């Protein structure tokens, strides 16, 4: 089991907030906490997606690069937000680059843990669908 402080950090993630203490402990054993430095690349577009992540602290910059190498900023991710789940769900490569804008702490969940804890739990699967639907709506409104 991780520390009580780790469990409290997990509880701050909207997707996981509804879980019981025992369920959070189970997830805490299946994830890895990582520190990333300002400017550090967290994910690269076109990489295989074998894990998803949650931002625990700090800010991450989501961006796309065009053929000329010019970057297009898509979003800034902050505490509680998740990313990398699309590649797990579709089996396709990552769609964007993600870089730390400041020192950050992220939580890494493997594809196995994702299937065990998120997809197999109706509450978490519905919460994930809600998250994806909200992102799609937000993207649609930007057009």
Q: Is 22 left (phi over 0), alpha (psi -120 to 50) or beta?
A: alpha
What Å distances lie between residue 59 and 3, 37, 84, 95, 101, CA to CA?
24, 11, 15, 19, 6
1 confidence band (pLDDT: 50, 70, 90): very low
Q: Is 39 left (phi over 0), alpha (psi -120 to 50) or beta?
A: left
The most confident of the ranges 15-24, 33-42, 62-71 is: 33-42
> Looking at residue 142, what is its pLDDT?
72
Model confidence pLDDT, tens digit, residues 83-134? 998 888 888 999 899 999 999 999 999 988 888 887 777 888 888 888 888 8
What DSSP character marks residue 39? T
Tell me the H-state helices in 45-113: 85-90, 111-113
Instruction: Give the whole-angstrom CA distance, residue 81 versus residue 69.
Output: 27
User: By the 8 A CB rule, do 53 and 42 touch?
Assistant: yes
The most confident of the ranges 13-27, 47-61, 69-83, 114-128 is: 47-61
pTM here? Answer: 0.85
Higher pLDDT, 75 or 142: 75
């Amino acid at each position: 089991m991780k520390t009580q402080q780790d469990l409290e950090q997990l509880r701050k993630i909207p997707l996981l907030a509804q879980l019981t203490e025992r369920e959070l402990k189970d997830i805490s054993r299946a994830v890895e906490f990582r520190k990333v430095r300002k400017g550090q690349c967290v994910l690269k577009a076109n990489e295989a997606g074998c894990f998803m992540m949650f931002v625990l602290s700090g800010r991450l910059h989501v961006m796309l690069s065009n053929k000329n190498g010019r970057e297009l900023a898509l979003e800034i991710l902050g505490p509680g937000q998740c990313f990398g789940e699309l590649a797990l769900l579709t089996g396709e490569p990552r769609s964007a680059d993600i870089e730390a804008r400041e020192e950050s702490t992220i939580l890494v969940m493997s594809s196995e843990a994702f299937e065990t804890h998120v997809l197999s739990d109706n509450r978490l699967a519905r919460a994930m669908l809600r998250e994806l639907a909200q992102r799609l709506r937000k993207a649609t409104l930007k057009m």
